[in-house]
Each structure stands twice: as structure tokens, then as C-alpha cells.
Amino acid sequence: MKFSETHFDERILRAVDELGFLECTPVQEETFKLVQEGRDVLAQSQTGTGKTAAFLISGFHLLLNDEKYQGKKMLVLAPTRELADQIEKDAHQIGKHLPLRIASFYGGVGYGHQEKMLQEGVEVLIGTPGRILDYVNSRKLILKDIGILVIDEADRMFDMGFLPDIRRILKGLNPPDRRRTFLFSATLNSQVGYLAWEYMHDPGEVLIEPEKVSVQNINQELFHVSHDEKMPLLLGILKKYQARNAVFFVNTKHSAIRLAKRLTANGYAADYLIGDMPQSQRLRVIQRFKENALSWLVATDVAARGLHIEDLDLVVNYDLPLESETYVHRIGRTARAGKSGRAVSLACEKYVYGLKGIEDLLGFKIPVQWLDEAEWVEDKSAGRDWGAEEEPRKGHGRNDRRHTGERRTRDGGGREKKKVVSQLISQITGSRESSHRDSHKIGGSPKNRTPQKSAAPAPGATASLEDKLAYYRKKYGSEFEKAREADRAAVGKPSDTPAKSRDIEAENTSAEKKDSRKKRHNRRARKKKGLSKVPIDEKMEKESLTAAVVSKKPGFFQRLFRFLTGKKEN
């Protein structure tokens, strides 16, 4: 069916024609039929099928031409900020000739501008459930004014824990027979079905099979490769296919940062898109990619849905996804609107266990390809430390406060000192224990993290203690001396011989026992005098604190000498 054959508002059809849309997609054709019959719509449809245009065109027509909904508003609920932003852009294009004010409402940005739009009046609201509820609770948004409701990617909403929020919104709306509801989901599971039965009025079903979406016009390829050889193979693939642009999907935010840096080092200027980034920065990266100012984008699954890129040549699953359905959403970034595309997946020993579930979902095995090693490209980023311990850009997400100057001042610089000391210990000792401890400091799991190599090898195990100290003094210069002086100031100057190190341990133990005796004496004194608290001599308190620091938190060099002498910490 052609758009010109529909009976929608002429202003809508004029905008659709200007966008170059001629033929309706299957989901659009079935949705339009149900709208003309006056029924709600329950659709199983994934991204790339034209569902956004389906509910926007239908909703705009009802707001303008159906007396039942004139003077009412349209609310579109989306699971992510990216998807809400994309729907808003599509809404402005389809509704550019209409007297409808359109705005989006989501977290990650300030309330001021959004509240101003609500005060001025908005007919089409697009937002995430959490931010919409904020305005409902503050009485800045009245749900009874909503005549048309759209729930996009309902299954994704449930996966993200939005079901309670959606129920609260639905309960505040007009009864199902007094509003029009559109519900779109990649899968019509029991949760979606129950929600439709409870909150929709006579819904008609539209079913678009997921496997048809995933294979249509997408050339899928699978390469088996070890984790350490991924990069040379990837560079060979990029050289062979000569793609103009590509999105690389990884499973963790730290992997995204590292891969973007490694691609840039190999001549592919890349940026990354992760969930912890501020919303304004995420939108800038997406806009640069859409405008072809950026050709190579590394992303976590925050961009697997709702990222609408025209003419995307290549999607690379650098890491196979942990969930089978995610594979379909990732490769759906290419071959949109009937165009062709290519999806390449690298199956390494770390994530290959997810391959069977993906192929079971697709209903066929992904064709396996091989690239001769002669076609691999030398990795210029190999052997370098690409910031495995780097935190995402400052000011990200819910953990903003940990990056503020206020926190650092209150911390007394302890966080930075611990980080420097930890790095030096790891480089000097080369121990697995230090690597394990560092992996937890950056919020990662040891089993999901590739061990990082130090910038240069430590001197051989046969070298003397003096040789090793001289080596690291020369290697790290003033920073090494600063760390040494800081440790001396905090825990007392360590000796340069194992014997003196053992003397320090004996003194620490003695100080701890002395402190314990003083505490017992104070408790007996309080008991005899019937006092709740006996003032402790200032000198005694300082000695007690010093003893506790020395005994419980040995300094950098003390730990170093214990390691070199083979003596374990108590």
C-alpha cells in the first residue's frame, strides 16, 4: 500500500512525501488499518521496520481530525534517552507542517528547560517513564489530559525494571475505552500480553517475525579468533571491505574506551558511546556520527536500540553479546528502510558461548568466514597500556560526586595517593594479587578483564635489592621519590635491610599491645568512677593513632620489603 492511498491528513502526507516515503512497510500498513477501524494496536515489531512512523502518523492524525481526541495530548514512552531523542527528531520531521508542539522529557539533563516547555504547552510529549513520573508527582503534568498513549519497546521496558513506573502511569490515565493505546514490542511475551489485556481496549495484533527482520538485506559473517588476535583481524576486515563507516559493539564500557583508543592509534579516528556519559555529550557524539563528521563509533548496548543511522555500512560485534536478542538489535543498526548492510561478528574464547543461543534465535547458523593471516594488518596499538584503569570521562552518570573537587579535598588526596602506590606496587612486584586488587578498584571483574602489561619489564628476579631500587628510582624519577617520602612520613622511615624490617614489625606489635593496655586501663577507670567517658591524654591519643596506622596500614616500601624478603603480611 502506498501512503497516497491512505486517508490521513494532507499536511502529514505532504511531509511524508518530502521525506521520500512512498510505500508503507508491513507494520505501517497493518497499524493504519487498525487505526481506521478505531481499535488499539498491539504490535510485535523491531527497530528498522518503520514502527516509529506508524504510531506518529496515526497519533498526529487522531489529534487533528478525531473529535474524541481534539484538545488532548499524545504521550510516547521510550526506555532510553537515545530512543526518546530519536523519536522526537522523527516527530518534528513528520509533523513539520502541523500546529503541534513537540518536546522530549528524560533524565540526564536539567529540569529547567523541560519545565518551561510544559508551562508553555506541549501537545506531543516523548519521554522516559522516570522523568514523566517526576512531572506527574510534581503536578506539572496531568495524565487525564492524555488522549493517545504509545509504549515503544515494551519488552525492553520490562528488562530495565520500568514495569512499576508504567503501571503507575497507566493507572493515572483515562480508562482504556476513552483513550487510544499503541503498544510495540520486539517479543509478545506473557508480561506484554497481560499488560495489553489489562490496560488496552479491543487491541488488534500486528505480528512481524523477528527472524525475517534480522536477515533481510543484511550480509552476516562470523569469524572465529582468539581474544588476543582480534585487533589484527579487525583491521584486516576494515581494509578488505573498505567500509565508509561502522559501529563496533562491545560488552563493557572500559572495553569501549580501550577499543576507541586502539582504533584511533591505527588510523581510524573513533569515539565511544557508553551509558555513563552525560546526556549532552552522548547526543553530540551521535550527532557527529549522523553528520559524517565521525565515521567510527564504539558503543555498548546503550546504543543497540534507538540509534537510527542512515546508510551505515558495517556493524561489528567485536564482543558477541551476552543475550541472544541483543544480537538482532545490534545488527539492526544497518540495512534500514530496505537498504543493504553487513554485520561481522568476532567469536573469541571469552564470549563464544553465546553463539548457540544467537543461532537458535535466528533459526540458522551464521556463515563462518576466514581471513588469511597474510591479510591481517599489523596492530600499531599492540603492547601498549590503553588505560584499563581509566574511569569514564568526568561528570558521568549517577557517580558524578566521586569526581568532584569537593570529594578530593575532603579525602585529603588519599584516593590519588593510593592509586599511584597501587600502580607502583603492581609494576615492581608483577604479582597476580596486585592485578586482582586493581581490577576491583576500577569496578571490573577479574574474569572479565584482560590482564594489563606494565609499560616496561621489571629487572630480573636475580637482581639485588639495591639494583631493583636503583632501577625504579631511575625509571620513575621524582614520582618514585615523592611516593617514598610520603610513605616515610606516614609510617616511619623503613630500613634498607630485612633485619631492620623485622625490627619495625616488632615495634609495631609492641605499640599495638601498649595501646591495648591503655584502653583497658581507661575502661577500668571509667567503671570505678562511674563516668561514661574519661578524657584521654592528648599525647596518649596521638601515640595510639600512630600505632594503629603503623600496625594496620604498612606503607609502600614496607610492603615492598615484605614481598622481596618473602615475608607475608599478618
Contact 105, 126 (CB under 8 A): yes
Q: What is the pTM of this model?
A: 0.51
Contact 104, 326 (CB under 8 A): no
Distances (CA, A) of 149 to 132, 176, 202, 298, 555: 13, 10, 15, 34, 62
User: How far, in Å, CA of 67 to CA of 50, rounded?
Assistant: 27
Distances (CA, A) of 451 to 44, 454, 473: 43, 10, 25
What tens digit of pLDDT does each residue of 420-441 get? 445 544 444 443 343 333 433 3
Contact 187, 155 (CB under 8 A): yes
User: How far, in Å, CA of 388 to CA of 382, rounded?
Assistant: 14
Percent of the chain with pLDDT over 70: 65
User: Would you state the pLDDT for residue 278?
Assistant: 78
Contact 463, 414 (CB under 8 A): no
Residues 6+ apart with CB under 8 A from 295: 244, 245, 246, 268, 269, 289
User: How far, in Å, CA of 419 to CA of 214, rounded?
Assistant: 45
User: Would you state the pLDDT for residue 409?
Assistant: 34
Chain center to CA of 162: 17
User: Would you state the pLDDT for residue 386?
Assistant: 72
User: Would you state the pLDDT for residue 126?
Assistant: 97
- β-bridge mates for residue 207, sequence order: 44
Name the one residue in this structure whose C-alpha cell is 514495569: 163
Its CATH architecture, for the domain 213-375, is 3-Layer(aba) Sandwich (3.40)
At 28, which amino acid appears?
A: Q
* CATH superfamily of the 3-208 domain: P-loop containing nucleotide triphosphate hydrolases (3.40.50.300)
- Long-range pairs for 155-159: beta carbons < 8 A, 24 or more residues apart: 155/185, 155/186, 155/187, 155/189, 155/191, 155/192, 156/79, 156/80, 156/186, 156/305, 157/77, 157/79, 157/129, 158/191, 158/192
**Other residues' Cβ atoms within 10 Å of the Cβ of residue 71:** 10
User: How far, in Å, CA of 360 to CA of 400, rounded?
Assistant: 41
At 272, which amino acid appears?
A: Y
Q: Which three cell numbers stand for residue 395?
A: 561528570
Name the one residue in this structure whose C-alpha cell is 571469552: 350
At 11, which amino acid appears?
A: R
Name the one residue in this structure whose C-alpha cell is 491512505: 6
Q: Which three cell numbers stand for residue 476?
A: 620513575
Spell out, as residue ranges, where the chain has pLDDT lower than 50: 211, 388-421, 424-463, 490-508, 532-539, 541-542, 544-552
User: Would you state the pLDDT for residue 304?
Assistant: 55
H-run or E-run covering 316: strand 314-317
Backbone phi, psi, residue 220, to 5°: -95, 135
User: Would you state the pLDDT for residue 449?
Assistant: 40
User: Would you state the pLDDT for residue 396?
Assistant: 38
- Of 268, 280, 270, give the one whose Cα is nearest residue 250: 270
User: How far, in Å, CA of 307 to CA of 317, rounded?
Assistant: 16
Contact 263, 318 (CB under 8 A): no
Name the one residue in this structure whose C-alpha cell is 600502580: 423
Contact 459, 447 (CB under 8 A): no
What tens digit of pLDDT does each residue of 97-111 get? 999 999 999 987 888
Contact 172, 136 (CB under 8 A): yes
- β-bridge mates for residue 73, sequence order: 146
Distances (CA, A) of 122 to 53, 74, 142: 20, 9, 12
Residues 6+ apart with CB under 8 A from 358: 320, 321, 324, 327, 366
- β-bridge mates for residue 127, sequence order: 77, 105
